[in-house]
Amino acid sequence: RVEQLPDPEGEMLRSLHDKVLELEARLIELEAVSHVHRKDFHFKHNELPEQLWQTLLDESASVEEEYNQGAGI
């Protein structure tokens, strides 16, 4: 029967899920002991480093300038 066939991918996913749960539990325990929350150290997803913002702005201005000088349509 199909239900009795080995499912290595499913077993791997279940194993990974169990490992994630184990690691999350260990993090919670560590945070409780150290009184430090891990999110305090995370990079905020909506903040880009200043240099990256400046590069994006410069590139955008350069493309707009080329377009305005006739390189556009």
pTM, 2 dp: 0.42
Strand residues in the chain grouped as ranges (E) = none
Report whether pLDDT(24) > 80. Answer: yes
Q: How far apart are CA 66 and CA 71, in angstroms?
A: 5
Q: How far apart are CA 60 and CA 53, in angstroms?
A: 11
Report whether pLDDT(46) > 60. Answer: no
Of these ranges, 2-6, 7-11, 50-54, the one predicted with the greatest mean pLDDT is 7-11
* Structure confidence at residue 23 as a pLDDT band (50, 70, 90): very high
